[in-house]
C-alpha cells in the first residue's frame, strides 16, 4: 500500500518535472521556478502547443493562474508576451535582464504559443495550417489547458484568469465561453475574470476609429481625413483586402494615408521612436519602441536572436519542427483572416451576464486599436446590458502621476486606459500596467488618489 502511494506521488511529480527549466542562458539568479515544454492537443499526437510558465515570485501556491495570449493572429505569446511585455526577463545581447514589473509578482503566468504553427508550437500534419480559424484555435486552447492542468494538478483549484491583447480580443472571450460550456459537464475551470488589452472586439468600430486617431494626432491632413472617412474607410479597405479585391478608390485613399503617416512612425505607438533596423528590414510587424532609456528600442530583434539560439531552445525544451527559424509572427500559418469581422463583444456580453468580471484596457498611444473605439464598444455593451455606471469616468494613479482613466459599469465590466502606453501596454508602461493588473486580480477599483 505504502509502495503504491509512493509510486502515485512520484508519477504525479514526474509528470511536470521534465518541463522544469534549470537555467536559461544569460539568466540572472531567481527565487521562483519556471517551466516550459509541449502539450499535445490532438489524439493522433500530431499537434503540440508550446508554453512557458513562470511561477509567482512569492507564495505561488496561494496565487492565481493567469493564461496570457498574444494576438496576430499568429504571433507568439512567449516571444512578445513573456520576453517583451510582462514576463520576468527581457533579452539584452547575450543576457537576460530582470523585468522589475513582471506580472509574476502577482500571479503564476502561463504563456501559450497558439495556434499550432506559431512560435515553437507545431503540427506534423502541415495541412492543419490551412484555414485555421477562431473555432479551431479556441478548441485547441481548451484541450491544452485541460491537459496542462493534468500535468500541474496542484494548480487545478486555483483561481484562473485569462488575459491577452489585440487579436486575443477574439481568442480570450471565445476560450472563456468554451470553458463555461465545459464546466457544465465537469467543473474544471475556476474562471474568475478576463482582461483584454487594445482588443479587437467589434471590427467596424475598432478599425474605423483609426482615421480619427491619425487625424487628431497629426498623422494625416484634414483632406486625407475626409477621404479616409467618406471615400473609403479602413474597415472597407481591410474587408476588400482580405477578399483579394481592393477597389481603385480604396487603393488611392490608402496610398495617401500611408504616404502621410510614414513608415517611420510606429502605428502601435504613435509617439515613440522606432527601431530603425526593424523598419528598414520591413519586419512583419513593427513593434513598439520606447524613448526612456530603461527600455530597449530593439527588444523584438533581441528576442528573435535569443530564441533562435540552440542553447536557449535546449534549455526551454523547445524544438523547431517544419520551420527553420523561430519568428515573432508565423509565416506558415494560413489563418482564416475573415474571422476578424466576427464581433466578439457579444461573447463578452454573455460572459458579463454569467458573472465573469471583464476588464478592457487600452494603451492610449496605439493607433491600431485606439482607445476611442474600445471605449465606445464597451460603453455600447454596458447600455445594451442595462449596466449603470458605478465608477464615473475618472483618472487613476500610479505613484503620484496619472496612470490613465477608468470607468466601471455594474460590478463586472470595467474600462481603463493606460496613459503613455503602446498597443503592448506592459512593454511601454510596465509600472502602470502592473498596478492595473493587480487591481484587476484583486477586483479592486484603480487607485483614486496617491
Ligand atoms: C464557430 O463556432 C460558433 C459557435 O459555436 C458557430 O456558431 C460557428 O458556426 C462556427 N463557425 C465555423 C466556421 O465552424
Ligand atoms: C465604412 O464604409 C462602409 C462601406 O462603405 C459603410 O457601410 C460604413 O458605414 C462606414 N463606416 C464608417 C464608420 O464610416
Ligand atoms: C440603473 O439606474 C436607473 C436610474 O437610476 C435605475 O432605475 C435602475 O434600476 C438601475 N439599474 C440597475 C441594474 O441598477
pLDDT digits (tens, 9 = 90+) for 83-131: 999 999 999 999 999 999 999 999 999 999 999 999 999 999 999 999 9
At residue 202, the pLDDT reads 98
Query: Which of 95, 93, 113 is closest to 37 using CA atoms?
Result: 113
At residue 266, the pLDDT reads 85
Q: Which ligand lies nearest the alpha carbon of 209?
A: 2
Q: Which residues line ligand 2 (CB under 6 A)?
A: 208, 229, 233, 235-236
Q: Which atom of ligand 3 is nearest to the CA of 388?
A: 1
Give the three cell numbers for residue 357: 468580471
Indicate the range of 167-181, 276-290, 356-370 predicted with least confidence.
Answer: 276-290
**If you measure from the C-alpha of residue 169 to the centroid of ligand 1, how many angstroms do you get, rounded to a whole number?**
17
Query: Which of 76, 100, 88, 26 is closest to 294 using CA atoms?
Result: 100
Which residue's alpha carbon is nearest to atom 13 within ligand 1? 135
Active site residue 334: no
What are 304-362's pLDDT values in tens digits? 999 999 999 999 999 999 878 999 999 999 999 999 999 999 999 999 999 999 999 99
Give the β-pairing of 47-54 and 34-40: antiparallel
**If you measure from the C-alpha of residue 128 to the centroid of ligand 1, how many angstroms do you get, rounded to a whole number?**
18
Could you give the CA distance from residue 192 to residue 46 in angstroms, rounded to a whole number?
32
Query: What average pLDDT does this structure show over 237-263?
Result: 94
pLDDT band, residue 9 (cuts 50/70/90):
very low
Query: What average pLDDT does this structure show over 444-450?
Result: 94
Could you give the CA distance from residue 372 to residue 311 in angstroms, rounded to a whole number?
44
What are 13-58's pLDDT values in tens digits? 458 899 999 999 999 999 999 999 999 999 898 999 999 999 999 9
Catalytic residue among 366, 374, 428, 433: 366
pLDDT band, residue 298 (cuts 50/70/90):
confident
At residue 1, the pLDDT reads 39
**If you measure from the C-alpha of residue 411 to the centroid of ligand 3, how many angstroms do you get, rounded to a whole number?**
13
3-state secondary structure 283-342: CCCCCCCCCCCCCCCCHHHHHHHHHCCHHHHHHHCCCCCCCCCCCCECCCCEECHHHHHC
CB distance 29 to ligand 3 below 6 Å: no
CB distance 386 to ligand 3 below 6 Å: yes
Active site residue 217: no
Could you give the CA distance from residue 214 to residue 260 in angstroms, rounded to a whole number?
10
Q: Is the pLDDT of residue 303 over 90?
A: yes
CB distance 135 to ligand 1 below 6 Å: yes
At residue 278, the pLDDT reads 61
Instruction: Using a cut of 0.85, tell me whether the model's pTM lies above it.
Output: yes
What are 159-211's pLDDT values in tens digits? 999 999 999 999 999 999 999 999 999 999 999 999 999 999 999 999 999 99
**If you measure from the C-alpha of residue 137 to the centroid of ligand 1, how many angstroms do you get, rounded to a whole number?**
12
At residue 286, the pLDDT reads 29
CB 341 within 8 A of CB 139: no
Could you give the CA distance from residue 210 to residue 31 in angstroms, rounded to a whole number?
43
Q: Which residue has the cell 507564495?
A: 59
At residue 112, the pLDDT reads 98
At residue 21, the pLDDT reads 97
The proportion of the chain whose per-residue pLDDT surpasses 70, expressed as a percent, equals 92
CB distance 314 to ligand 1 below 6 Å: no
Active site residue 166: yes
Q: Which ligand lies nearest the alpha carbon of 336?
A: 1
Could you give the CA distance from residue 408 to residue 387 in angstroms, rounded to a whole number?
9
Q: State how far the alpha carbon of 246 is from the alpha carbons of 237, 251, 319, 369, in Å.
A: 7, 6, 39, 22
Neighbours of 36 (CB within 10 A): 21
pLDDT band, residue 139 (cuts 50/70/90):
very high
pLDDT band, residue 3 (cuts 50/70/90):
very low
Could you give the CA distance from residue 370 to residue 421 in angstroms, rounded to a whole number?
11
At residue 280, the pLDDT reads 55
180 bridge partner residues: none
Mean model confidence pLDDT for the chain: 91
Could you give the CA distance from residue 367 to residue 217 in angstroms, rounded to a whole number?
9
**If you measure from the C-alpha of residue 163 to the centroid of ligand 3, how many angstroms do you get, rounded to a whole number?**
30
Could you give the CA distance from residue 190 to residue 159 in angstroms, rounded to a whole number?
5
Could you give the CA distance from residue 263 to residue 278 in angstroms, rounded to a whole number?
11
Amino acid at each position: 500500500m505504502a509502495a503504491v502511494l509512493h509510486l502515485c506521488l512520484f508519477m504525479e511529480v514526474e509528470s511536470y518535472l521534465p518541463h522544469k527549466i534549470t537555467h536559461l542562458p544569460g539568466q540572472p539568479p531567481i527565487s521562483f521556478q519556471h517551466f516550459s515544454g509541449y502539450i499535445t492537443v490532438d489524439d493522433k499526437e500530431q499537434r503540440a502547443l508550446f508554453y512557458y510558465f513562470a511561477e509567482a515570485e512569492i507564495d505561488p501556491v496561494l496565487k492565481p493562474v493567469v493564461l496570457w495570449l498574444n494576438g496576430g493572429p499568429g504571433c507568439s505569446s512567449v516571444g512578445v508576451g513573456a520576453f517583451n511585455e510582462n514576463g520576468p526577463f527581457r533579452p539584452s545581447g547575450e543576457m537576460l535582464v530582470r523585468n522589475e514589473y513582471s506580472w509574476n509578482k502577482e500571479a503564476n503566468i502561463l504563456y501559450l504559443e497558439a495556434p499550432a504553427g506559431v512560435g515553437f508550437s507545431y503540427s506534423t500534419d502541415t495541412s492543419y495550417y490551412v484555414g485555421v480559424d477562431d473555432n479551431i484555435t479556441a478548441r485547441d486552447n481548451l484541450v491544452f489547458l485541460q491537459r496542462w492542468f493534468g500535468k500541474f494538478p496542484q494548480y487545478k483549484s486555483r483561481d484562473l484568469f485569462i488575459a491577452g491583447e489585440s487579436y486575443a480580443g477574439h481568442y480570450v472571450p471565445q476560450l472563456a465561453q468554451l470553458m463555461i460550456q465545459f464546466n457544465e459537464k465537469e467543473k474544471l475551470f475556476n474562471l474568475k475574470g478576463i482582461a483584454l488589452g487594445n482588443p479587437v472586439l467589434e471590427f467596424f468600430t475598432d478599425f474605423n476609429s483609426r482615421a480619427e486617431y491619425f487625424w487628431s494626432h497629426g498623422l494625416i491632413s484634414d483632406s486625407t481625413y475626409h477621404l479616409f472617412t467618406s471615400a473609403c474607410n479602413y474597415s472597407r479597405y481591410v474587408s476588400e483586402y482580405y477578399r483579394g479585391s481592393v477597389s481603385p478608390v480604396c487603393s488611392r485613399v490608402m496610398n495617401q494615408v500611408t504616404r502621410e503617416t510614414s513608415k517611420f512612425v510606429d502605428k502601435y505607438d504613435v509617439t515613440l521612436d522606432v527601431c530603425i533596423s526593424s523598419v528598414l528590414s520591413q519586419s512583419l510587424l513593427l513593434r513598439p519602441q520606447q524613448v526612456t532609456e530603461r527600455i530597449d528600442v530593439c527588444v523584438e530583434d533581441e528576442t528573435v536572436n535569443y530564441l533562435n539560439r540552440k542553447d536557449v531552445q535546449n534549455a526551454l525544451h523547445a524544438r523547431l519542427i517544419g520551420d527553420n527559424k523561430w519568428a515573432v509572427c508565423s509565416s506558415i500559418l494560413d489563418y482564416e483572416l475573415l474571422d476578424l469581422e466576427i464581433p466578439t463583444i457579444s461573447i463578452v456580453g454573455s460572459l458579463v451576464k454569467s458573472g465573469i468580471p471583464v476588464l478592457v484596457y487600452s494603451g492610449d498611444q496605439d493607433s491600431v486599436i485606439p482607445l476611442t473605439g474600445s471605449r465606445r464598444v464597451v460603453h455600447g455593451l454596458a447600455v445594451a446590458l442595462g449596466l449603470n455606471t458605478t465608477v464615473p469616468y475618472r483618472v487613476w494613479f500610479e505613484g503620484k502621476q496619472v496612470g490613465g482613466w477608468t470607468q466601471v459599469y455594474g460590478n463586472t465590466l470595467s474600462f481603463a486606459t493606460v496613459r503613455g502606453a503602446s498597443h503592448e501596454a506592459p512593454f511601454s508602461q510596465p509600472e502602470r500596467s502592473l498596478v492595473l493588473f493587480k487591481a484587476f486580480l484583486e477586483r479592486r477599483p484603480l487607485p483614486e488618489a496617491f
